[in-house]
Amino acid sequence: MSRHFPALIIVIPLISAFFIFAAGGLKKTYCFYIAAAALAISLFSSIGLLLQVLQNKVVVYHFGGWAPPWGIAYRIDYLNGIVLVAVAAISFLNLVATKKSVEKDFTEKIGLFYTLYVLFVTGILGIVVTGDAFNLYVLLEIASLTGYALIGMGTEHAPLASLNYVFMGTIGASFYLLGIGYLYLATGSLNMLDIASILPNIFQSNVVLLAFVICLTGLFIKMALFPMHAWLPNAYTYSPSPAISLIAPLTTKVMVYVMIRFLLTVFTPSFSYGSMAVSTSFVWLAVIAIVVGSILALSQKSLKRMLSYIVIAEIGYMVGGVWLGNRAGLTGAILHIINDAAMTLCVFLVAGNILYRLSGDSFDNLKGLFRKMPFSMGAFVVGALSIIGVPPTGGFFSKWYLISGGIAAGHYGFVIALLFSSLVNVVLFFRIFEIAYFEPSDCPHISDRMDEEGKIFNDAPLGMLVPLMIVAVGLIVLGIFTDTIVTKVIQFAIPGEIS
């Protein structure tokens, strides 16, 4: 069966979606367990795949028995092996962590929610694992469509925010499709490796340049890099909390992965960094994204909205790291995909826990929260320290690689932007710590429940806390094992020609 891991990892969640949908009409309590089982199998096969990759360097699977470029092939190497495990683990942990919250928010549509959930995960996992440029588009559309629906069921202005996301997302995906069209026009192939083998002969062509630019534009819109970020804050703020702690860690980071895949595998590094003079300007764009994202985060008054702007700044980190074009920068970017996904999951899960107990997440509501929800806030501290970049959390090490990459490339603007952003994050999170620790609670919305000692203790239920704790501990573990991840996996993911 281990030969079929690349298929199982996608197909099991997809097939489970049908059963979950059927269970939603028959017996609603089964939905969660089917989804959990499917995602657990997915996680298991992704770990199995990573082990196979560590052994054999690359795993290829031909769908329908047709060899590429005629059929569709999945190709797992070091780069997507590690991202795959991160994605599968995050989606599984989030599923477990938000069970109670889903039951509260979507009592009647629980079956539909979990169906969309597993379909979203299917799409995201597929994007990571596929080796076919057009297949990626179809999977991207699955992930986007389910994402629109999940966000659209949120509070306040969620439908409008989601509709704007539909427009921007469709423009992004269509630009990507158009870029693939130009690549097809120039090479006649859709398989990524096949394109890569043909492209070096025609690098001077305008068509290839056009394809490159259009693809990147589409991906930038999808990953919400600074000037194209307008859809993100509203969509993330108003979306339901169990959905956003899935969508926020995965969507944008996976698009960064796709960008890395395109730069390194499809358009080989010599084209992406060499014959193109755009690297530096993209790094500057990333610098602007970091600075603007951080400053906008400062002016927000509610937790989720602040976190959404931090997501925008973090995208700048990764894009900048990728475009530095040296080994340290790329290592930092790939490491940051994993770390950032984990820490975004951590802080958004805490936001979800807070919203589970309180009526809102504006800063006024957070007063005295350390007493009420000590465990959630403890996890929040770990997540926040990771975002700031304090050792031994994972965030420190990826930022360290990014900064050393910036220094090696002589791009001090990027280094300064990273340090500035860390400083702003310190201000942002210590402001929240101050409110939550020192200010007495006067919030009338809380359903205060005194326990025996007369303390106000009202943390989220155990089922939500345990996965959160696992994520928080995982952040520290990721930090401690950074060296292993880099030497065993990531350094092989970067082609040798990049020094």
Partner 1 sequence: MAFPGWGDPLSPASTHVSPYYIENTIEDTSVPNIVTAVLADYRGYDTMFETAVIFSAGIACLFLLRRMKRKKTDFRHYRHMATGITLRIEQGGKIHPTAKEFERIDGLWVPHDLIIRTTGRFIIPFIQIFALYVIAHGHYSPGGGFQGGVILGASFILFAISNDLRSALNRMGERLTAFFYTAGVSLYAGTGALCILLGANFLDYSALATILLVDPVTARSYGILIVEIGVGIAVMAVMVILYYNLVSAGKFDEGL
Partner 2 sequence: MVDLLTIIISKYNYWGYIVLMMVGLYAMIVKKNLVKKIIGMSIFQTAIIFFYVSIGMKKNATIPIISHGHDGGERAVHAVDFINPLPHVLMLTAIVVSVATLGVALALAIKVYRQYNSLEEDVIDSLIKEK
CA distances (Å), origin 437, targets 380, 461, 462:
12, 21, 22
Taking CB within 5 to 8 Å according to partner kind, which of partner 2, partner 1, none is near residue 15?
Answer: partner 1
Positive or negative, the CA dihedral 455, 456, 462, 464 is: negative
CB of 72 to partner 2, least distance (A): 12
Pick the closest to residue 330 from 497, 85, 180 (CA basis).
Answer: 497
CB of 175 to partner 2, least distance (A): 9
Asked if 122 and 13 touch (Cβ cutoff 8 Å), the reply is yes
Taking CB within 5 to 8 Å according to partner kind, which of partner 2, partner 1, none is near residue 71?
Answer: partner 1
- Copy the structure tokens of residue 489: 């996996």
Phi first, then psi, for residue 229 (nearest 5°) are: -95, 0
Pick the closest to residue 463 from 87, 132, 196, 94 (CA basis).
Answer: 94
Pick the closest to residue 252 from 87, 480, 370 (CA basis).
Answer: 87
Taking CB within 5 to 8 Å according to partner kind, which of partner 1, partner 2, none is near residue 118?
Answer: none
Q: Which residues bind partner 2 (CB under 8 A)?
A: 134, 138, 141, 145, 148-149, 152, 157, 159-160, 162-163, 166-167, 170-171, 174, 177-178, 181, 184-185, 190
Greatest distance between any 2 Cα atoms in the chain: 76
Q: Which is nearer to partner 1, 64 or 444 (CB)?
A: 64
DSSP, collapsed to helix, strand or coil, labels residue 191 as strand
DSSP, collapsed to helix, strand or coil, labels residue 302 as strand
Q: Checking phi first, is residue 457 left (phi over 0); if not, alpha (psi -120 to 50) or beta?
A: beta
Contacts of 23 (CB under 8 A, 6+ apart): 30, 31, 34, 111
Give, in degrees to the nearest 5, the angle at Cα 68 between 65 and 70. 85
Q: Which is nearer to partner 1, 113 or 401 (CB)?
A: 113
Helix axes 327-357 and 374-388, enclosed angle (nearest 10): 160
CB of 22 to partner 1, least distance (A): 6
Q: Which is nearer to partner 2, 115 or 398 (CB)?
A: 115
Query: For the CA atoms of the chain, what is the radius of gyration?
Result: 22
Q: Which is nearer to partner 2, 184 or 203 (CB)?
A: 184
CB of 156 to partner 1, least distance (A): 15
CB of 388 to partner 1, least distance (A): 37
Taking CB within 5 to 8 Å according to partner kind, which of partner 1, partner 2, none is near residue 160?
Answer: partner 2
Q: Which is nearer to partner 1, 218 or 395 (CB)?
A: 218
CB of 157 to partner 1, least distance (A): 15
Taking CB within 5 to 8 Å according to partner kind, which of partner 1, partner 2, none is near residue 490?
Answer: none
CB of 409 to partner 1, least distance (A): 32
Taking CB within 5 to 8 Å according to partner kind, which of partner 2, partner 1, none is near residue 163?
Answer: partner 2
Q: Which residues bind partner 1 (CB under 8 A)?
A: 4, 7, 11, 14-15, 17-18, 21-22, 25, 61-66, 69-72, 108-109, 112-113, 115-116, 119, 122, 126, 132, 134-135, 138-139, 141-142, 145-146, 148-150, 152-153, 159, 184-190, 194, 198, 202, 204-207
Taking CB within 5 to 8 Å according to partner kind, which of partner 2, partner 1, none is near residue 11?
Answer: partner 1
CB of 407 to partner 1, least distance (A): 39
Taking CB within 5 to 8 Å according to partner kind, which of partner 1, partner 2, none is near residue 467?
Answer: none
Residues comprising the chain, all counted: 499
